[in-house]
Amino acid sequence: MKNCPYCEQEVENDAVRCMFCNGALDKFTEPETKWYFSTTAVVISLLSFGPFALPLVWIHPAYKMVTKIVLTIIVIGLSIWLYYILKEVYEMSMEQLAVLGIVL
């Protein structure tokens, strides 16, 4: 016996239609994965939002634990590195503005 995907009633294994709701049993397929679980969506969100997109990586059903840990380390490491680079660029810009006599 198997369950009808539409009404959840038990029907015969070789049945083509459910005898309770008349739903087609052979055409039922598993639902597709959510759009935000696609690799493209994960990559775009990581590039756009950085560490704020890490929960999307951690709830992804297909990623192994090692993949999740490695991605987390890479994203956090790149975020820290980018912070120091941007801080240095800001300090150099302020020095150049001070040399030009512009005070902010």
Model confidence pLDDT, tens digit, residues 29-70: 556 788 888 999 999 999 999 999 999 999 999 999 999 999
Given CA atoms 62, 65, 67, 72 in this order, what sign does their dihedral have? positive
Q: What is the pLDDT of residue 83?
A: 98
Structure pTM? 0.64
Q: What is the pLDDT of residue 30?
A: 58
> For 65, how many CA atoms within 13 A lie in the half-sphere containing its CB?
0
Q: What is the pLDDT of residue 29?
A: 56
Percent of the residues in the chain that have a pLDDT greater than 70, as a whole number: 95
Q: Where are the domains of the chain?
A: 1-31, 33-104
CA distances from 27 to 8, 13, 22, 34 (A): 15, 14, 12, 20
Q: What are phi and psi of 53, to 5 degrees?
A: -95, 0
